[in-house]
Amino acid sequence: MRTPTDVQFVLGRRAERLDAEARTVDLDDGRTLSYDVLVVATGLTPRRLSFQRDMAGVHTLRTLDEAGDLRRGLRSARRVAVIGAGVLGCEIAATARGMGLPVTLIDPAPVVMAGRLGDELGARVAALHRRRGVRVRTGVGVASLIGTAGRVSAVERADGERVPADLVVLAIGSTPATGWLDGSGLSLSDGVECDSRCRAAPGIYAVGDVARWHHQALGRSIRLESRTNATQQAIAVAADITGTGSPYTPLPYFWSDQYDVKIQIHGTIAPGSRIRPIEGRPGAMRFAAVAELDGTPVAAIGWNHPRAVMAARRQVMDALRSGTASVGT
């Protein structure tokens, strides 16, 4: 039986090339590692703006070092602009506002977090931020970052409006970190493409944010960006490697903490979904609801209601099991 001492850590090095036929991975220090089974878990790379220049005061947030830089920057910042009103951007805006800083949240989409929450709940999140004093500037994108003496001083929107800021956070999404797999023969299309057991090729798996796999219950390929998925998928892959696996069919889940609100979503709020409250009413500080598409529950929604969201989740699971759900990506 293998023991934990069989684990060899190679930290501080990048994988640079995969040779799937020879079953080897080249590292950036010139070494080549061989494997019987490879698990690709390289996560995401934050997107950059095409016109982005390196300027002091401009941050992205993915790694621990970046988190430390951002925390130090926020302590001395006078005005903050967050570009990108997705989950990460909204959470950063809430944190900066909680530190008492003036914050502007900018996104070309008309509604914040619309991709994850849909228009109705996204509008509630925008209202939450506005109540807390965040300037929410949606519907117009960013044209440039303005700098003075190598430090950012403002964000210019496409309509010419200048948003003064000495700290800017770019939270405009991320792309799967698959560059090192180019030319490996793996199918790469918004992630490493896998079958229902997260197998990308013989002896190769992918897990976590980088993995796009065929979700058998939903009948299509999906990729999830959440910590719980990374953990569950890793367990599913480990089971498959050791011969006890089965198709990986989780109900997508994510949560977001902003100010004193915990939002929990089990499933996917597909475009065009109708929100049906099951406890409390949307707009209250605490409610739970089900998002329905053509009458079929596709997502459970909890707004400061971790107990009732589980009842909503059961409705979604029942629909999924009965095979009538058409959960969106």
41-58 b/e with 16+ CB inside 10 Å = b? Answer: bbbbebeebeebeebebb
158-175 b/e with 16+ CB inside 10 Å = b? Answer: eeeeebebbbbbbbbebe
| Range in contact with ligand FAD (rule: CB under 6 A) among 137-145, 222-230, 262-270, 309-317 | 222-230
Phi-psi region of 180 (alpha: psi -120 to 50; beta: other; left: phi over 0): alpha
Q: Which one of 23, 79, 119, 254 is in contact with ligand FAD (CB under 6 A)?
A: 254
What minimum distance in Å lies between the beta carbon of 325 and ligand FAD? 22
Q: Which one of 20, 49, 55, 61 is in contact with ligand FAD (CB under 6 A)?
A: 61
What is the DSSP code string of 169-232? EE---EEE--GGGTTSS--BSSSEEE-TTSEEETTEEE-GGGEEEEETTTTEEE----HHHHHH
Pairing of strands 274-279, 287-293: antiparallel
In the region spanning residues 85 to 114, those forming contacts with ligand FAD, defined by CB under 6 A, are 88
Closer CB to ligand FAD, 120 or 209, in the complex: 209
| Range in contact with ligand FAD (rule: CB under 6 A) among 35-43, 110-118, 136-144, 188-196 | 35-43
What minimum distance in Å lies between the beta carbon of 140 and ligand FAD? 25
Residue 180 sits in the site that holds ligand FAD (CB under 6 A) = yes
Residue 259 sits in the site that holds ligand FAD (CB under 6 A) = no
Closer CB to ligand FAD, 37 or 140, in the complex: 37
Q: Which residues bind ligand FAD (CB under 6 A)?
A: 14-15, 41-44, 61-62, 88, 177, 180, 208-210, 225-228, 230, 254-255
